[in-house]
A and B are shown apart, each in its own frame.
Chain A
Amino acid sequence: MTEITASMAGSVWKVLVKAGDEVEEDQDIAILESMKMEIPIATDFDGVVKEVRVNEGEFVNEGDVIAVIE
């Protein structure tokens, strides 16, 4: 199990996956918004989404877990 974390502080603009989804390397799982810029957060390996820990509109800090992938 690997945690995908936020690379910077910002708001969650879009959540692109849900628990149970199969994901591939480099696939975007969420989009953060920081300083009026959208930053995609991608997984760096293939797997299945175990858990999504953020909701759209929520504020996250750098290092906060976005999703857990198995």
Chain B
Amino acid sequence: MFKKILIANRGEIAARIMRTCRELGIKTVGVYSEADADAVHVKQADESYLLGGPRVTESYMKIDKILEAAHQSKAEAIHPGYGLLSENAEFARRCEEEGFVFIGPSPEVISEMGSKIASRKAMEKAGVPVVPGVTRSLADAEDAIEAAETIGYPVMLKASAGGGGIGMQVVYSADEVHKAFEGNQKRASDFFGDGAMYIEKLVEKPRHIEIQILADNEGNTVYLWERECSIQRRHQKVLEEAPSSFISEETRRKMGEAAVKAAKSIGYKNAGTIEFLVDADQNFYFLEMNTRLQVEHPITEEITGLDLVKEQLHIAAGKTLSFAQEDVKRNGHAIEVRIYAEDPKTFFPSPGTITKLELPEGPGIRHELAVHSESVVTPFYDPMIAKLVVKGTDRSEAIDRLKEALSNYHIEGIKTNIPMLQEVAAHEAFHVGDTTTEFVEKYLTKKKQKQTK
């Protein structure tokens, strides 16, 4: 096992990785920006290195600076966390070239799965169902219209390099393609440096259900069940649960096996997630693969009893998986909610200083956070400041615990989305499992309109 690793990330995920490292007796190296000099993850690391200015482009995205810190600290491996450089093939390649183990899959796989067009092609080849679509890069609006007409409206116009909803739009007619194409292409180009666009059939009333996999260097690949992440706002997940309240045992098994097939077909190593869209008839379609640890990994840990970071470290250190598919158990029900520093009504960011932080305690409650009662939440990074994870023996108990925990979660000094999470937790549609990706728009927006009348 490694003696020392560098964590190329910040916030709760850096703190989360450091926790497992401490348990395994691995020394940790933190990195930070000027804005994060007093951050929790810096204090928790055994040693830390300043990367540069507050913006991610001046600090956490600076590959040279991170590698310099890794050399200085004599770290053996680099864990990228999620976001930032975690799915950057160039970073993974540079880590390897400079003698560090990158805790994740190979640069080639990151690159292939990072392109929505290339990943679709790879999945089609592997026999994994994909949403009907035209996967070549579309030249212009006319080309897009021709493609849309072969699939049939409504379609989703998507950026090949996209994510988080950027460069993505539902279009219902040729006229709308005309209006949407250039703007989306430009945005994709501005955000991702790649304006390639493609078109997919719109899956109506979809659920977002993803399968966690683990794969070692010997080709042993297992699936750790699913997470349902349908409750989203602007394509960003808000609440995730495991297992899904929707799919049958048969669909669950088929999705798991498809995910394993997908991972094996591309020679995947380490932890990864295959995201699927599932329609009302439980047909599932490959959406994308995340070649890293995910924000919502704790709910899988809660129902399987595994530590995914520990498994990642073991795989990266060359160990063989210590269990087979039939050993992976499923126990209870877990829900995660993301606490965002934002106005719950306008959804505007709410940076500032936390003046009071009280966390709920009790059975089945877990926190993942890297803020305290004097932390400054800056405007430079993602608004997610904490994750609340609850577990119950079944879904009903997990929901009860979520409601109770949210009512005892107090943050002052900044606004948070806790009132919105309470609305979700209390909503009848959530209780009965009516959790398509349209949930927020269908139920919460409607309620707001009623209130303003």
Contacts and interface: CB of A to CB of B under 8 A. Distances in A.
Interface of A: 7-11, 34-37, 39
A66 to B, nearest CB: 15
A8 B348 CA distance: 9
Contact of A8 (B55, B351, B381): B351
A41 B379 CA distance: 16
Contacts, number: 32
Contacts of A36: 381-383
B342 interface: yes
A10 B379 CA distance: 6
Interface residues of B, number: 12
26 contacts: A8-B350, A8-B351, A8-B379, A9-B351, A9-B379, A10-B349, A10-B379, A11-B55, A34-B351, A34-B379, A35-B341, A35-B342, A35-B349, A35-B351, A35-B380, A35-B381, A35-B382, A35-B383, A36-B381, A36-B382, A36-B383, A37-B348, A37-B349, A37-B383, A39-B348, A39-B349
Contacts of B382: 35-36
A9 to B, nearest CB: 4
A7 B380 CA distance: 16
Contacts of B351: 8-9, 34-35
A22 B427 CA distance: 46
Contacts of B55: 11
Contacts of A34: 349, 351, 379
Nearest to B349: A35
Contact of A7 (B341, B348, B381): B348
Contacts of A7: 348
Contacts of B381: 35-36
Contacts of A8: 348-351, 379
- Interface-central residue, B351, B379, B381, by most chain A CB under 10 Å: B379
Pairs of residues from A and B, 6 with the lowest C-beta to C-beta distance, nearest first: A35-B349, A35-B383, A34-B379, A34-B349, A9-B379, A10-B379
Interface string B431-445: 000000000000000
A35 to B, nearest CB: 4
A10 B351 CA distance: 9
A11 B342 CA distance: 17
Contacts of B342: 35
A34 B343 CA distance: 13
Interface string B356-368: 0000000000000
B339 to A, nearest CB: 13
